[in-house]
Amino acid sequence: MSQPPIRPYSRTQAAGLICICKRVSETPFDRCSGCKRVFYCSTSCQTADWQKHKRECRLLKAVNKYDATRGHTAVDLSTRLEYFVEEMNSRLRKIGPSVGSDYDHRHPDIISYGQKCQVCFRTPFHGPEGVLTPCPTCQLAWWCSPECGAIFTQVAHTSQHCKALTLVHAVDSVKTAYLKARGTGQHLMLRTEVPQRVYTPPSSLTGWDDYKSELFPDFDFAAEFTSQEFSHIHPKAALAVEAMAIDSSSIVLTLLHALEIVLPDLETRRTLCIHVLWSGERDLETQGMTEELLHFLPFLQTVTVVYVGLQVVPMFWRGDDTNLACEVCTRNGRSRHSLRRTATYHNFISSETSHQNHPDLVAGFNPSRGQMESEEWRASMQAVIDSGVPAVFTAYSLPLANLHISLLEACNPFYLRDVERNIWRGMVPKPREQDELAMIEASHYTNNYWFMIRGAAEAS
């Protein structure tokens, strides 16, 4: 997938509280004088970023011009969300011709994350320019006038919404500081140090509280200890570290749950092989969490995870046979291997690597709408179904999961599990005003919903 014309920005970046250089602030930095949507801590940072920013600056200015020309319309409170969605779609159409057909490129988060009144959805670009007052708690929601401020917490920014955005602010800030401190990897991970001696069936666990008590009793201590390094970054650094660690654990717990469903002998399995298709940043940067498969399955000797996708970069500095298992597991003759292949899955499946590493399970985590609507996705899904190997897929939201199901209709898969809420979903919310209209939930989460398939329906 090509690089997006408008780069990904976090909600806290869009609020001006994180600079492109990863500096975090309690008050907004100075904004670009052109687009007025990207913030910098200094002139030198802005100058260094200009070559990357100049194209997106032009695109964002076109969006701002739409607001200035269109003006703000005061609508009844009962239709405020419909107004927001309609206006947001109009803004996105302004950049559409310049960013290509990719759905994800046409829907950059910075436009919806940008500063706006949470009650009436007035933006700074509607004019006449006014002052947006931020919520003093989360700092990621605003009101534009005394009238909107009077009903801000009743109509738009409820305690639940504020709680979610407070966590988002904390996670964005700590994640940025973590990346700056470590130099590589954006996803904080907390792993158990000692392998389990007794098998705990995944189905006996009801969620993250059981995970902490049964599989990782030292989780809270590890999270609190890690958070001390970032306590100066945000007052809720401990909560942020907990949420980030759980998000990183979500994939491996989802895999364990799926493996138990398709492998009756999971408890005594000695080898496992998993293929992860459409592998993206989160899959690759949290691959170290697959160590937990060795730690939670006492009889397992070897686990191999193959990451396949067009965004996958092979690790040339190590071979496929490199043992990545922890010191304790290695001493006990156990091994963990991570293979990376830059390919679409339907092309990879006929390769020698695939034949030598036949999967017990195929997995696809949180594919975007842009990925699901591509020809490559359709061909890869058909290849998965034709292989007859059980597969698990997750989605950020129920609408995305249902879209995945609808696009699969032509392939006629056999469903091992219908779409349902995943008890191992992540903890970090991604609030979206658009989803408030769906009356389901107003936030996305990593691995929020899941379903499982195996082969074609007529063959099962």
Model confidence over 21-32: pLDDT tens digits?
999 999 999 999
Using DSSP's 3-state secondary structure scheme, residue 304 falls into strand
pLDDT at 447 over 80: yes
Of 123, 104, 103, 105, give the one whose Cα is nearest residue 113.
Answer: 123
Highest mean pLDDT pick, 333-337, 399-403, 433-437: 333-337
Section 340-353 average pLDDT: 96
Q: Are residues 126 and 254 in the same domain?
A: no
Confidence at residue 73, expressed as pLDDT on a 0 to 100 scale: 92
Q: Does residue 141 lie in a domain region? A: no
Residue percentage of the chain with pLDDT more than 90: 85
User: In this predicted model, which residue has the larger pLDDT, 312 or 186?
Assistant: 312
Pull the structure tokens for residue 359.
Answer: 């999967």
Compute the mean pLDDT over every residue in the chain, rounded to the nearest whole number. Answer: 94
Residue 421 domain-assigned? yes
| Pair 230, 177: CB distance under 8 Å | yes
CATH code where residue 309 lies: 3.40.50
The least confident of 98-102, 261-265, 403-407 is: 98-102
Per-residue pLDDT, averaged over 351-361, amounts to: 98
Cβ-count burial 306-329 (b if 16+ within 10 Å, e if not): bbbbbebeeeeeeebeeebbbeeb
Q: Which pair of structure tokens corresponds to residue 262? A: 């398709």
Q: What's the domain count of the chain?
A: 2
State whether 270 and 417 are in the same domain.
Answer: yes
Q: Please identify which residue in the block is written with the tokens 């700056």.
A: 180
Say if residue 401 is in the same domain as residue 254. yes
The pLDDT of residue 313 is above 90: no
Residues 6+ apart with CB under 8 A from 387: 349, 362, 455
The confidence score (pLDDT) of residue 308 equals 97
Q: Which residues of 128-156 are buried (b: 16+ CB within 10 A; e: fewer)?
A: eeeebbbbeebbbbbbbeeebeeebbeeb
In the β-sheet with 271-277, what is the strand arrangement from edge to edge?
335-342, 302-309, 271-277, 361-364, 391-395, 449-456, 413-421
Could you say which of 93, 112, 133 is where a domain stops? 133
Contact 352, 310 (CB under 8 A): no
> Which of 117, 133, 149 is a domain's end point?
133
Task: Give the per-residue pLDDT at 370.
Answer: 84
Averaged pLDDT for residues 333-357: 97
273 and 127 within one domain: no
**Total residues belonging to the chain:** 460
pLDDT at 180: 92
Q: Is the pLDDT of residue 346 over 90?
A: yes
**In this structure, are 290 and 427 located in the same domain?**
yes
Q: Give the confidence band of 315 by pLDDT, cuts at 50, 70, 90.
A: confident
Q: Is residue 216 part of a domain?
A: no
Question: Looking at residues 182-192, what average pLDDT do you find?
Answer: 86
Same domain, 422 and 282: yes
Region 80-88: mean pLDDT is 94
**In this model, does residue 460 exceed pLDDT 80?**
no
Q: Which residue has the higher pLDDT, 2 or 97?
A: 97
Q: List alpha helices for 273-374, DSSP H.
A: 281-285, 291-296, 327-331, 345-348, 352-356, 369-372
One domain, residues 129 and 272: no
Q: What CA–CA distance (Å, rounded) separates 245 from 224? A: 11
- The model's confidence at residue 1, banded by pLDDT at 50, 70 and 90, is very low
Residues 232, 367: Cα–Cα separation, whole Å? 35
Exposure string for 16-29, b = 16+ CB within 10 A, e = fewer = bbbbbeebbeeeeb
Q: Which residues of 333-358 are buried (b: 16+ CB within 10 A; e: fewer)?
A: ebbbbbbbbebbbbebbeeeebeebe
- What confidence score (pLDDT) does residue 317 get? 74
Least confident of 56-70, 125-139, 210-224: 125-139
Burial (0-12, 13-18, 19+ Cβ within 10 Å), 449: buried
Domain presence at residue 150: no
| pLDDT confidence of residue 103 | 83
Residue type, 154: Q
Residues 128, 253: one domain?
no
Q: Which of 80, 98, 133 is the last residue of a domain?
A: 133
Q: Quick check: is 221 in a domain?
A: no
- Decide if 212 is inside a domain: no
* Top-confidence residue, 443 or 424: 424
pLDDT in tens, 116-175: 999 999 999 998 767 899 999 999 999 999 999 999 999 999 999 999 999 999 999 999
Q: What is the arithmetic mean of pLDDT over 214-226?
A: 97
The whole-number average pLDDT for the span 211-238 is 97
Residue 178 maps to a domain:
no
What pLDDT is attached to residue 440? 66
pTM: 0.93
Does a structural domain hold residue 360?
Answer: yes
Structural domain for 276, as ranges:
249-459
Q: Are residues 384 and 256 in the same domain?
A: yes
10 Å CB burial of residue 159 (0-12, 13-18, 19+) is exposed
The pLDDT tens digits for 364-383 are: 999 988 888 888 999 999 99
Using CA atoms, how far apart are residues 131 and 352, in angstroms rounded to an integer? 61
